[in-house]
Structure 1
Amino acid sequence: MKHLGSTLLLLAALPATPVFAQTACQPGTYAAPDSDFVVLVPSPSVAAPGLRYMFRDGRRGATTEAGVPLTCGTDAVTVGGKRWARIAFRETPTTFDSVGTKMTGVLIEPPGASDAKRPLVVMVHGSERTSPIGGLYGYAMAAQGISVFVYDKRGTGGSEGEYTQNFELLAEDAAQALDQARSMAAGRFGRAGFFGGSQGGWVAPLAATRTKADFVAIGFGLVASPIEEDREQMVSEVRAAGLGGDAVALVNRLSQATARLLLSDFREGYDALDAVRREMADKPWAAKVEGEYSGAIARMPNDELRRIGRARVDNLELIWDYDAVAALKKLDASLLWVLAGEDREAPIETTRAALLGLAKEGKSVDVYLFPQTDHGMWEFTTDADGERHVTRITDGYLKLLGDWIKRDVRGAYGHAERLTPKS
């Protein structure tokens, strides 16, 4: 996961061609009689009048591309020769206060008579600065019969305050968001909880210890600290390059050195960093090591690190040694964790071991793994240079989230592998 202002949770765009295959598509969510659906929304990455689309099975693209698998009408779309009608969601905008900051959000409720058993979920950001309001994922959840509350992270969209990645503060915001959603949907929901993707895997469980939550669902998050994430990314990089134990040991020492810098506000750790640099000097592969931040730190001169290292790397109040396991042990809610089997941004080894350990200790944890997927649950192709090119969200992921939140898990979910026994 990239902490320095990069988008974590959701890949905003697939390449769009300038072929205008659709011109009449209207934003909305359209459902088939068998509960399949497609969401169409405007996107900055798609030239008007085009829209971004996403099906329940994870197919995504732009209506401006050739070969779009739907045609549009006024209040419906046609898919495979069948008419899919627009879902008439009830959408209620709101503002709420969190730690003295005015936040903006929207409650999305499925149509029909009020259902006192309908689940209510608050969607917790990753590290992105883009607004989830009007985005694909809130509607994709609501299309599955779930009431959804989406809100702008502080310092983004319509929410006030300063953008931050401080998990404690973000957890307070998420907890207040759930309280607000509960009051707005009073009498029209049953279970209530959180969904978080990527960085939301740190924030959502912590939020669930600050307010009553019945469940927490996480996609491609980490049960590891940001320091551990950096180390695991570098280990993954050198292993992917076919390097052995010596390289793994060296990047582990690099992670230890950079961690000391971060935890001391860039006052300590330079001798250890210089020692690692000397070891790396004759290694051709070392110049390509990135991690989350260690590669960049290793390539910055010490005088520069002393002057601007903290401003460059540590300016978002990230809790570098955050104890994610401790937060999960305090959690009094059922937990779903979905892993991307080939996640390069959030390698899964430590996370999987921690989750399975918690399950053995008796925590209510359901763990699923989708093989051959990268961060964001993206399927991908790999070119001759080892570069990955994302294609689609893996089939079964969105449906698994919806069914688990509704406590209706049954059958197969694409290629998902369940790693824990049924709860």
Structure 2
Amino acid sequence: MNRVASTLLLLAALPAAPAFAQTACLPGTYAAPDGDFVVLVKSPAVPEPALRYLFRDGRRGATSDAGAPLACGTGEVSVQGRTWKPIAFRETPTTFDSVGTKMTGVLIEPPGALDAKRPLVVMVHGSERTSPIGGIYGYAMAAQGISVFVYDKRGTGGSDGEYTQNFELLAADAANALDQSRAMAKGRFGRAGFFGGSQGGWVAPRAATVTKADFVAVGFGLVASPIEEDREQMVSEVRAAGLGDDAVQLVNRLSQATGKLLLSNFAAGYDDLDAVRRDMADRPWAAAIVGEHSGAMARMPNDELRRVGRARFDNLELIWDYDALAALNKLDAPLLWVLAGEDREAPIETTRGALLGLAKAGKPVDVYLFPQTDHGMWEYTTGADGERQVTRITDGYLKLLGDWIKRDVRGAYGRAERLTPR
């Protein structure tokens, strides 16, 4: 066989080249003609050159994953054989002052003609220390035709100051961020307000009572104090383990004892804690109780709690008995609250009751629940050991947020259940 024939046979044995040649993916937001989109960003959790992706329907992963539902071309992506083009956002970095601290932010505006009716939303972060600037969620909101302001929480990213979880100070920062974004987008927006996720559910409503806001949207937040959050987590744990009311009563007592320690700066509550420890000593399940902080506190000796308890558990200026309902009672702006039906980190029972009470009292509150989702609106699978593995953001959540902010809610949003009347 001659060399030419051998080469032809070798080429024939190779798989055909794909119609859309795969190249290194470029960060950006890519849109389909029908308005669907995917956001690609760099992420510390994804080794370069791969990127994290998020579709509007909540599918997420890394571009390097086997079976990733997209292919990258030169400045565009292909999804199911269709080419999606990049969205050319207008991004304007800025700094602003908040309570004597220099903060760093970016205004993201959708392309196209100036629109004096376009909504503007300030993204109020949760307890994370990572920067939202360049993150996936701001672009996912902007891809839906909304101007978005993202900023680094004090003490993180490019913002000065000390990292804190003091809701009053964080609310002041959020309020100043809204004022800054309004000034930057003057003449190019209509209604303006906040979105807060998780801890942002404490901060965003309070911020809306500090400065004028036209709306507040919250995802998987709590209308309960941090102490109540800890108690509800422990109740959820014992209920999930199939335990009865006696176990619930014990973890309620544990929460009361640890709450007394926290509210007294670890000066009082040790006798109450010792009493609960004695009653829990013969309960095998007690060693597995976690909560937000009470499980760890119950397993620390009193002398250690006196010595380092405050440094370990109370070093971020958290307002342990924060009255979240009081802030909502002061709020006149329309409120959207989205609940994760199986939220282990922020159990929903107290929050759902409080929100439905506000709606019944005539407050402009819209409450939605996505069943079989955990904190973050994550769908999940459960292993034989009971541990959950997140899979994707539940379908409909991102679109509901965007449509509600645009005052264009219509149709179904995945499996969402509306809990308040229209």
Aligning the two structures, in what range does the TM-score lie when normalised by the shorter sequence? over 0.9
Cα distance per residue 1:197-226 (max 9 Å; x no partner): 000000000000000100000000000000
**What are the residue-to-residue correspondences of 1:172-251 with 2, within 5 Å?**
172-251=172-251
Give the secondary structure class of the aligned counterpart of 2:380: strand
- Check whether the contact 2:23–2:74 (CA below 8 A) recurs between aligned residues: no
Q: What is the distance in 2 between the residues matched to 1:51 and 1:138?
A: 16
* Percentage of matched positions with identical amino acids: 85
Matched, 1:38 2:38: yes
**What are the residue-to-residue correspondences of 1:15-414 with 2, within 5 Å?**
23-414=23-414
Give the secondary structure class of the aligned counterpart of 1:362: coil
- Check whether the contact 1:23–1:49 (CA below 8 A) recurs between aligned residues: no
Give the secondary structure class of the aligned counterpart of 1:312: helix
The residue identity in structure 2 corresponding to 1:41 is V
The residue identity in structure 2 corresponding to 1:402 is G
Give the secondary structure class of the aligned counterpart of 1:208: helix
- The runs of at least 4 consecutive aligned structure 1 residues that moved more than 4 Å come to none
The residue identity in structure 1 corresponding to 2:63 is T
Match of 2:7 in 1: none
The residue identity in structure 2 corresponding to 1:216 is V
- Check whether the contact 1:196–1:204 (CA below 8 A) recurs between aligned residues: yes
Q: What is the distance in 1 between the residues matched to 2:282 and 2:203?
A: 40
The residue identity in structure 2 corresponding to 1:300 is M
Shift of 1:74: 1.7
Give the secondary structure class of the aligned counterpart of 2:355: helix
Question: Which one has a bigger Cα radius of gyration?
Answer: 2
TM-score (norm 2): 0.95
- Check whether the contact 1:118–1:145 (CA below 8 A) recurs between aligned residues: yes
- Check whether the contact 2:22–2:73 (CA below 8 A) recurs between aligned residues: no
- Check whether the contact 1:227–1:321 (CA below 8 A) recurs between aligned residues: yes
The residue identity in structure 2 corresponding to 1:298 is A
Q: What is the distance in 2 between the residues matched to 1:337 and 1:227?
A: 21
The residue identity in structure 2 corresponding to 1:248 is V
Matched, 1:419 2:419: yes
- Check whether the contact 2:132–2:138 (CA below 8 A) recurs between aligned residues: yes
- Check whether the contact 1:373–1:380 (CA below 8 A) recurs between aligned residues: yes
Q: What is the distance in 2 between the residues matched to 1:371 and 1:152?
A: 32
TM-score (norm 1): 0.94
Q: What is the distance in 2 between the residues matched to 1:415 and 1:121?
A: 25
Q: What is the distance in 1 between the residues matched to 2:340 and 2:403?
A: 19
- Check whether the contact 1:224–1:323 (CA below 8 A) recurs between aligned residues: yes
Q: What is the distance in 2 between the residues matched to 1:299 and 1:385?
A: 23
Q: What is the distance in 2 between the residues matched to 1:127 and 1:80?
A: 37
- Check whether the contact 2:24–2:72 (CA below 8 A) recurs between aligned residues: yes
Q: 1:117 to 1:306 in 2, by over 3 A?
A: same
Shift of 1:65: 0.8
Q: What is the distance in 2 between the residues matched to 1:22 and 1:405?
A: 36
Q: What is the distance in 2 between the residues matched to 1:22 and 1:296?
A: 49
Aligned length: 402
Give the secondary structure class of the aligned counterpart of 1:179: helix
Q: What is the distance in 1 between the residues matched to 2:121 and 2:245?
A: 44
- Check whether the contact 1:22–1:64 (CA below 8 A) recurs between aligned residues: no
Shift of 1:22: 5.9
Give the RMSD, CA atoms, in angstroms.
0.8
Cα distance per residue 1:7-32 (max 9 Å; x no partner): xxxxxxxxxxxxxx965111000001
Q: What is the distance in 1 between the residues matched to 2:186 and 2:233?
A: 44
Shift of 1:185: 0.2
Give the secondary structure class of the aligned counterpart of 1:410: coil
Give the secondary structure class of the aligned counterpart of 2:389: strand
Q: What is the distance in 1 between the residues matched to 2:210 and 2:332?
A: 11
The residue identity in structure 2 corresponding to 1:268 is A
Shift of 1:346: 0.1
Unaligned runs of at least 5 residues, structure 2: 1-20
The residue identity in structure 1 corresponding to 2:113 is A
Q: What is the distance in 2 between the residues matched to 1:395 and 1:37?
A: 13
Give the secondary structure class of the aligned counterpart of 2:155: coil
The residue identity in structure 2 corresponding to 1:206 is R
Shift of 1:73: 1.3
Unaligned runs of at least 5 residues, structure 1: 1-20
Q: 1:223 to 1:22 in 2, by over 3 A?
A: farther
Give the secondary structure class of the aligned counterpart of 2:209: coil
Cα distance per residue 1:125-148 (max 9 Å; x no partner): 100000000000000000000000
